[in-house]
Amino acid sequence: MYASGLAQSKTIYVLMRSAKQYREKVCRVIEMPTPAEIENLIKPLYPPWVPRTIEIPNIRLDQFLTDAARKRPDVVATSYFGFDLTYKQLDEIANRIANVLIKLGIKKGDTVASHFTNTPTFVATYYGVLRAGAVNTLISPLFKGMEIKYQLNDSDAKAYINWEGFDQVAEPILGQTGVKIRIKSSMAPWISPNPLEGDLLDPENKVLWLEDLIRTVPATQPAMTINPKEDLACLQYTGGTTGLPRAAMLTHFNLVANVHQLKVWAGDAFEDGKEVMLTALPLYHIYAQTVCMNWGIILGAKQVFVSNPREVEELIEAIEHHKVTIFPGVSALYNLINNYKGIEQHDLKSIKFCLSGAGPLPIEIQSKFEKLTGAKLREGYGLTEASPVTHANRTDISWPGFIGLPLANTQIRIINPVDQRSDLPIGQVGELCIAGPQVMKGYYKRPDETRNSLVDINRDGIKWLFTGDLAELDTRGLTRIRDRAKNMIKVKGHSVFPAEVEDYFFQNPDILDVAIVGVKEEDGGEKVMAFIVLKPDAKGKVKNQDIINWAKTNMAGFKVPKMITFLDEIPKGTAGKTLHRILREGKTELD
């Protein structure tokens, strides 16, 4: 008995000592979370199929399309209003576009601007530019003359390729740019059995049509030497929410790395050559380029294009008709589907997986969409300067309210935004910093801004990207984005994060959409203002005071809006991000 009791006592002592050592270890991590300690904290959270470090192939980005055409020549690559292109056809058209550009005088490293909506033309031109050794810059379909002129000049674009529908906004300003080559596209089907007679590449020709030009050159890939880690694939412009837009220099390796990180993260969730990708996000945006286009190609998926995702009927019809299995999006898109009248009568059960980015995913939207479709809807996080994805929730586990875990080869730290050097304790809000192979080379022609954004914090050769986002790590190692630093509202010494307050409001059964902004007060402080879109059956019934009373019951007083404005629609960019700046600047007109 005595021996048994002694053994039991020793066991208890060992367990207590182990627990004490574990607590001490965790406490050290909480107090002093260096990148290495953060790694130790988060490693147990990864699924077995996601190693923390993977080998990134040192290949050019357009190799994705080469491989897809070789492995799956007859699989449909793109589908657009009944017109399908196989991977073999898409590959050959990209080669032809590359040969056209080279024949017209485009040299390695030149910038080529493309101006399209979501179409096969976009994909073929994007990859054709890469095969010519040139650099893509993509222009938003929403841009007007001055915005187009700025991007063409800032990117030093030598060529401009556009859908003819954009002629009216582009032609008046092209003479004020450095563009030497102008090519238009009707976006009509390209495949023709009979090549055109004559040479349409005469530089005196005032109008060069892409559909004609590609039939005058071979469909073989031109010889071009690319250094993936140094040569740029894309000058990707940021949203320009403050000041003029700036271009992130993304190399071939940056973009290849991000796609391989996503491929490893997904594991065996998808079948090669069997998936259907819904490309409803705008392809000029880096989110759609990587998660829809490039990831879709490496998966051998059929990409179904939707030009205007706000046309919910078109979105739903595309899902049903094509049996979409992967649907990358933003919370606004999923919310539109959730609240579409009669949505229960539509069959959306083909969807297996959705990744939500470009802003927070409110829990109410996530749970309702998953119940409606049976799909897994997971929140991720990224930014243009990181190609863009850096974090994602596991495919098999969701942590609502968190952006999840860093992708393979991606390191994170939470830095004191004041000194931009010291790491903050677990649970404290600071600036999220990222290091990894997907992080940009820098900002084009902006060395000072590059130095401010890519910082060798410890002087050990590792450049950390300062994201401008306020975030915190919890004791498990999960990352939560609190808000953009510039969106944070200071109310009598309290920090109010609009994303948090918006998430609360989405739980109000009368509210369809909401945006929270800070309004300056005479004393120099700020007050909270809410812009709200009511659900149809609540319009005319729910008043400002009803909203304020509800907020007072559900959140701290300093977070409760002091002003309520009802709108028919919250202004959003084409990527689905709420345009808080527009709301702040237009406050007086909206009152």
Rounded distance between C-alpha atoms, residue 226 and residue 229, angstroms: 9
Q: Determine the length of the chain.
A: 591
Number of neighbouring beta carbons within 10 Å of residue 98: 28
- pLDDT, one tens digit per residue, over 157-197 is 999 999 999 999 999 999 999 999 999 998 665 444 343 44
Give the residue among 575, 576, 573, 571 at the shortest CA–CA distance from 586: 571
- Torsions phi, psi for 286 (to 5 deg): -60, -30
Total tally of structural domains belonging to the chain = 2
Rounded distance between C-alpha atoms, residue 438 and residue 435, angstroms: 8
Parent domain of 537: 488-590
Residue with the larger pLDDT of the pair 579 and 321:
321
State yes or no: pLDDT of 580 exceeds 90.
Answer: no
Strand partners, 565: 531
DSSP state of 55: P
- Residue at 424 is within a domain: no
- Residue at 9 is within a domain: no
> Strands (DSSP E) along 324-375, which ranges?
353-356
DSSP state of 487: G
Tokens 């290495």 — which residue? 36
Mean of pLDDT values over 564-583: 82
CB 433 within 8 A of CB 457: yes
Tokens 């898109």 — which residue? 333
- Domain boundary pick from 220, 252, 284: 252
Rounded distance between C-alpha atoms, residue 107 and residue 98, angstroms: 11
- Residue at 338 is within a domain: no
Provide DSSP, 191-230: --SSPPSS----TT-S-EEHHHHGGGS-SSPPP----TTT
- pLDDT, one tens digit per residue, over 378-415 is 999 999 999 999 999 999 999 998 999 999 999 999 99
- Domain boundary pick from 252, 267, 298: 252
- Residue at 102 is within a domain: yes
Q: What pLDDT does residue 492 have?
A: 66
DSSP state of 482: E
Q: What is the mean pLDDT of the chain?
A: 87
Rounded distance between C-alpha atoms, residue 77 and residue 175, angstroms: 37
State yes or no: pLDDT of 120 exceeds 80.
Answer: yes
Give the residue among 56, 41, 510 at the shortest CA–CA distance from 264: 56
- pLDDT, one tens digit per residue, over 92-113 is 999 999 999 999 999 999 999 9
Task: Identify the CATH number of the domain in which residue 139 sits.
Answer: 3.40.50.980
| Percentage above 70 pLDDT, the chain | 87
Tokens of 523: 């004393």
Q: What pLDDT does residue 204 have?
A: 55
Q: Do the bridges between strand 526-534 and strand 563-566 make them parallel or antiparallel, or are there none, so unpaired?
A: parallel
Task: Identify the CATH number of the domain in which residue 499 sits.
Answer: 3.30.300.30
- pLDDT, one tens digit per residue, over 425-438 is 999 989 999 999 99
DSSP state of 62: T
Q: What is the pTM of this model?
A: 0.81
Q: What pLDDT does residue 2 have?
A: 32
State yes or no: pLDDT of 488 exceeds 80.
Answer: no
State yes or no: pLDDT of 31 exceeds 70.
Answer: no
- Residue at 218 is within a domain: yes
- Domain boundary pick from 219, 237, 252: 252
- Residue at 4 is within a domain: no
Q: What pLDDT does residue 522 have?
A: 60
- Residue at 553 is within a domain: yes
Mean of pLDDT values over 226-247: 84
Rounded distance between C-alpha atoms, residue 288 and residue 486, angstroms: 25
- Residue at 178 is within a domain: yes
Give the residue among 353, 310, 298, 306 at the shortest CA–CA distance from 335: 310
